[in-house]
Structure 1
């Protein structure tokens, strides 16, 4: 693994930019902090990109972007988001979440890895790459910063639709993925979608004393039975027709899946409790990438019904979708499934995100794979479909840009979205070196010539 010497020489200033962006408490609903972060980001883009601007998102902060035109017709987008999850109870943090303190070579901050390591690190990677070319780029680069990804990117579709020509891209480097537990880099292609629904039953006019439990219906129990019937005994989605919509794994994809790690021993409660629904690890790996999933978010009950049989109950359920699964089609299938089991139940959609597929075998995919091998000194683990949901389908739909999410600063124990989120300084510098390597690899694969 060869680190660009300029990264080592400039490590203090590179890390300081990472720390600075981490000091903004830029949750999507904290507009003063979001706007402060946006202004700082603009100031960092202006020396690097000939076109810098913002596009307002109604009710939220602005999209911040920079564009530097290159010689070829090809365009690479660097997608990032500068909003973060809430820090929660700050007393639970070892170090204050917005001070970006470094202890024993590790930076602690909310958003340190998700996604401010990308926001900051990619700026320096781009700067160093631009210097190599004397400021004249072989292809166009667009830097794109989303202000509200952590809450589902509301308004982003309007921005992409209304400004499709401005942001038209041939490939999109998505926010980064994590490294495997053994340190190997990983690359995720495309992304999952999601469908959240509320399933409700009202069985009685009013609540009643629990002594009537043998002669009246229980809305909570009926909702529990519906939710339980959404999956098979070993955890697969049981809604008729839903799994048939999902993309099928090719033989090559199944070979790649064998290198993927599935959480198991790290989640084991004790020796007699297996955290996985079944023991065949190859099957678990296939499911992890190519099967839709279902999780229960919450049961909602009136708090006054603790000592009675409640008249109504609802459950919030989230389905994880793989490419091929249209959320509207899935919603219709779920409604039919639920109606067959309980005609009094109502299924309402809360929100949805379409899944997106991008091929690992494209010029873009090959370049990322080779750059990861070069930067990390190990062959990358390929996820044909990223395991998380995101707005990637919008970028394919409006910009024509396939997406890939490469390894970044985050390790499996980095507490993303949790207390004490952190990333190692050395991992961050390696992350910046990887992005620099990727920009070079795309050029060597012909991206700069516009012929692939």
Structure 2
């Protein structure tokens, strides 16, 4: 990488990385209130020297939204959204080192939450420190630094926090948690975010597990469940539930052209000899990656005690990714209607919903983010019209009115986000700091999107 880092980033690299490690050592799995509280205290301690005011907005059962406020010399405000909860570590036996030890091996730091999302938190704190040093008479614009305690489970309660404190939190632009790089190392920039609909499915057709000799004449709950779940998709792998995709964003020709610049996950997630991608033309897959509503099966459970028996029942968990223009409540009703006609014995439960968020790619804020990424990562940024992950972005658009953009950070495609051995490279982390500093400078020079 040919980008020359700010000398202060180089000189302070050890301290910056130590902060990253320290924050990753809090086992802040969503719902672990003791770990969440300890991490919130640590974060408040780091924010105190940088902020004029710090607030904690408690979400009952999940912990505090930690928010720092720094008043600037202009009326403009940048909101930095992060979260400090993490996914469960999963099978710790598959980790190369303990998931909350935050050990550095061959230039990479391994920890649950290393990139999602603790690298964002600590790199942005460091960049703010450096930016403050450049403006001893006051920052050129105001900063709101927000850390969510429960993003990994859909940010329950955050909507209410933003609604109640919308006047205090109103901002001109929102820098979202970071996105990953392309397979070839180019920076990627995501706009808005997908929504989500997650449901449970349950089917019981017998009073108990039965001998397999009955299989020619009795119903099989697992087989029926599999057939119904298969009916959610057509032969092409697209959502086939009647009415489900009504209103989904239809890209224009310019957006279709831009999407061809991105790269698809491939070598970094592949098993030798097996193509991980669906059997369609690459151009078509790229368009689907950004604009097509999606479905994934995240759980399928049958009584583990059965060996050769016919299972009396089974349960499944299905997650749908929604694009802008879709409403999760409406989607849920179309799913219920579909189940009523395909297998009315299946009970469906709503686990969670999240509305999608659309943010335009042609605002002054977007230009500033692209320019900063081009400078900090020494490559032409790739534009994602809709960020492929889901998040509570719609809350911010509804209550705060700020366009939101997710820039490249520390994560690479092979970084195992949400998997075992999640990791980020120290060098990428230092460039993450450089990017955030460049963006703050760019916003000072070029400004924000209009309110």
CA 1:97–1:314: 2 relative to 1, 3 Å: closer
1:54 equivalent in structure 2: 56
Q: Distance in 2 between matches of 1:178 and 1:221?
A: 38
Which stretch shifts more, 293-302 or 324-333? 293-302
Helix, strand or coil for the counterpart of 2:263?
A: coil
Inter-partner Cα distance in structure 1 for 2:75 and 2:33: 37
Q: In 2, Cα distance between the equivalents of 1:68 and 1:433?
A: 21
Partner of 1:137: 139
Mapped contact 1:80–1:144 kept (Cα < 8 A): yes
Between the aligned partners of 2:247 and 2:84, the Cα distance in structure 1 is: 34
| Distance across 1 between alignment mates of 2:178 and 2:132 | 21
**How many angstroms apart in 2 are the aligned matches of 1:387 and 1:98?**
27
Shift of 1:119: 0.9
1:225 aligned partner: 227
**Is residue 2:172 matched to residue 1:170?**
yes
Shift of 1:232: 1.1
- Matched position secondary structure for 1:338: helix
Distance in 2 between the 1:265 and 1:51 partners?
46
Distance 1:126 1:317, change over 3 A: same
Does the 8 Å contact 1:2/1:374 carry over to 2? no
Distance in 2 between the 1:362 and 1:175 partners? 19
What secondary structure sits across from 1:217 in the alignment?
A: coil
Structure 1, residues 160-188: CA drift from partner, whole Å, max 9, x if none?
A: 12111111112111111111121110011
CA drift at 1:111: 1.5
**2:80–2:144 contact (8 Å) kept in structure 1:** yes
Structural mapping, 1:317-396, within 5 Å: 317-396=318-397
Describe the superposition over 1:327-364 as per-residue Cα deviations: whole angstroms up to 9, x where unpaired: 01111111222222223333222211111111111111
Distance 1:85 1:343 in 2: 34
- Aligned alpha-carbon RMSD (Å): 1.9
Q: CA deviation at 1:110?
A: 2.0
TM-score (norm. length: structure 1):
0.94
Which residue matches 1:78?
A: 80
- In structure 2, C-alpha distance between the alignment counterparts of 1:396 and 1:338, rounded to whole Å: 33
Residue 308 of structure 1 aligns with which residue? Answer: 309
**Residue 39 of structure 1 aligns with which residue?**
41
For residue 201 of structure 1, what is the aligned residue in structure 2? 203
Higher alpha-carbon deviation: 262-271 or 246-255? 262-271
Change (3 A) 1:200 1:22: closer
Q: CA deviation at 1:224?
A: 1.2
CA shift for structure 1 position 316: 1.4
After TM superposition, the structure 1 = structure 2 runs for residues 156-305 of structure 1, keeping only pairs within 5 Å, are: 156-269=158-271, 271=273, 273-305=274-306
Shift of 1:225: 0.8
SS in 2 for 1:56: strand
Whether the 8 Å contact between 2:183 and 2:268 is mirrored in structure 1 is no
Bigger drift between 382-391 and 243-252 goes to: 243-252
Contact 1:234-1:278 within 8 A present in 2 as well:
no
SS at the partner of 2:27? coil
Gaps of 5+ in 2: none
Bigger Cα displacement from structure 2, 145-154 vs 342-351: 342-351
Q: Secondary structure at the match of 2:242?
A: coil
Aligned counterparts of 2:207 and 2:34: Cα–Cα separation in 1: 46
TM-score normalized by the length of structure 2 = 0.94
TM-superposed CA distance for 1:267, in Å, is 4.7
Change (3 A) 1:135 1:144: farther
Residues 129 and 439 in structure 1, CA contact (< 8 A), matched pair in contact too: yes
**Greater Cα offset, 98-107 or 436-445:** 98-107
Contact 1:55 1:62 (8 Å CA) reproduced? yes
1:96 to 92, 95, 98: 98
SS at match of 1:27: coil
Alpha-carbon distance between aligned partners in 1 of 2:37 and 2:207, rounded to the nearest angstrom: 49
Q: CA deviation at 1:263?
A: 2.3
CA contact (8 A) 2:247 2:325 kept: yes
